[in-house]
Structure 1
């Protein structure tokens, strides 16, 4: 079952947007996404992040 994940709001940095190449993103992708939102790069063995930064 796919569960939609929403990230956004007034605290989201400019230039941060959802990736279009992760169509079935879900809970497994949240760890990498949170790391990216905090300015870190997730390890290679994590699932793909749901965001990209311009």
Structure 2
């Protein structure tokens, strides 16, 4: 399953490239924690404000 094209386009306009991670190595690293389960995200976004979170959730 891939992310919708409209969402990706709008997220690219909202969040600078240096805070968006979609390459396999980064998504694998961000999808790992101390649990037994591994869910690899399609996209990781490092937000810097509450407004960015709200804008992303609206997308």
Q: Normalized against structure 1, the TM-score is what?
A: 0.25
- Greater relative contact order structure (CA < 8 Å, 6+ sep): 1
Larger proportion of strand: 1
The alignment's TM-score, normalised by the length of structure 2, stands at 0.24
Larger radius of gyration: 2
> Which structure carries more helix by proportion?
2
